[in-house]
Structure 1
Amino acid sequence: MRVPELYKRPGWQRFFAGMMFGAIISWLIFLFTYGTFQEKQVTLLRSQQHHMDSLKEQITLYREDLHKLNEDNKQRLLIQSVDVHLVNREQYKIPEPDTLKFEDQVKEDISEVITKDIESVYKTKELLKRTVENKEYTIREKAYRAKVTELTIYTKLSLEVRISFAE
């Protein structure tokens, strides 16, 4: 069997030529639309990349500013409250109301440190200890001396106090 000779028939020749021209034209249209679409995508990606770079720069600037502000605030922290705890009240059998009075007296003695910055309070911590230790406190007509065993300085000044009879 033999393939028919199509080159002698003009109808078939026009059909195949039309298919070739149609394929070429459709390929050109595809390339044009794909190219314009890709061009839009590239410009969109470039603009987004530029926007991301500017946002990253802003973030680094904000982080640096925040870090500087945090450092400044750490240096400017203030004492907001004073907490006193009597360690050996069971040894002297001091009742709870008298313990609270004693703690209030100590708080009153060192109340001037409230609203002062932590750094200055830390520099004068020995003065704070002496202020508490050099005073005699009276509980139920008995004189006591206080000894600061622990002093914690942060936004809350905490004192642990041990008492003994005054000489």
Structure 2
Amino acid sequence: MRIPPYYRLPSWQRFLAGMAIGGIISWFIFLFVFGQWQERYSKEIKLQKDAIFELEKDKEIWQEEFKKLNKENQKKLTVQDISIKIVNSEKYKLDSFSVFQLEDEIKEDISMMVAKDIDTVYKSSELIKKIIENKTHRVNEKRYRVEVKELVIYTTVSIELNIMLD
């Protein structure tokens, strides 16, 4: 098998030399363009890393301040209001005014809890229950005792009560 004698024809020699030179020139152009892109993207990535680092630092500072403020606010939380609801007033056929009077009496009994911090009120929740349950109330010439059904302590102390005849 023999190689065709194209090396003797000048047109083929120019074509092959042009392909080789064109390949080398296009390779250098590719390397230049690729290098420029790489350099630009490297700068962009470095800037983004710096921005991310700064933002993470800022975020940590804000989180620390937020935690400090939360701790201070938790210390400052106090009871603002007392809400009392009698659940089973229909069982004894009490009118709404009688229920209101009974709720108001109970609210006056535990009114010393207003403006106290929530932690103190929570620690004295058993005392609150005993204050409410150990007292008998007169409504419409009948004596009633109350039983604490539910006690929720937050800025508003919510108490649900059951009443029963004494």
Aligned to 2:33: 33
Aligned to 1:149: 148
| Offset of residue 47 of structure 1 | 1.7
User: Gaps (5+ residues) in structure 1?
Assistant: none
Partner amino acid, structure 2, of 1:122: Y
What TM-score comes out, normalization by structure 1 length?
0.72
Partner amino acid, structure 2, of 1:111: S
Helix, strand or coil at the partner of 2:63 = helix
| Offset of residue 91 of structure 1 | 5.8
Alignment of 1:115-130 (within 5 A): 115-125=115-125, 128-129=128-129
What per-residue deviation string (whole Å, max 9, x for no partner) do you get for residues 44-75 of structure 1? 11221222233233334433443443344334
Alignment of 1:52-91 (within 5 A): 52-86=52-86, 89=89
Aligned to 1:158: 158
What per-residue deviation string (whole Å, max 9, x for no partner) do you get for residues 9-40 of structure 1? 44443333233222211211111111111111
Percent of aligned pairs with the same residue? Answer: 39
How many Å separate the matches in 1 of 2:10 and 2:93? 125
How many Å separate the matches in 1 of 2:141 and 2:152? 30
Check conservation: 1:122, 1:153, Cα contact below 8 A. yes
The 1:71/1:148 distance shift into structure 2, 3 A limit, reads: farther
Q: Which structure dedicates a bigger proportion of its chain to helix?
A: 2
The 1:80/1:12 distance shift into structure 2, 3 A limit, reads: same
Partner amino acid, structure 2, of 1:149: V
Aligned to 1:6: 6
User: Gaps (5+ residues) in structure 2?
Assistant: none
Helix, strand or coil at the partner of 2:7 = coil
| Offset of residue 92 of structure 1 | 4.7
What TM-score comes out, normalization by structure 2 length?
0.72
Check conservation: 2:80, 2:115, Cα contact below 8 A. yes
Alignment of 1:41-52 (within 5 A): 41-52=41-52
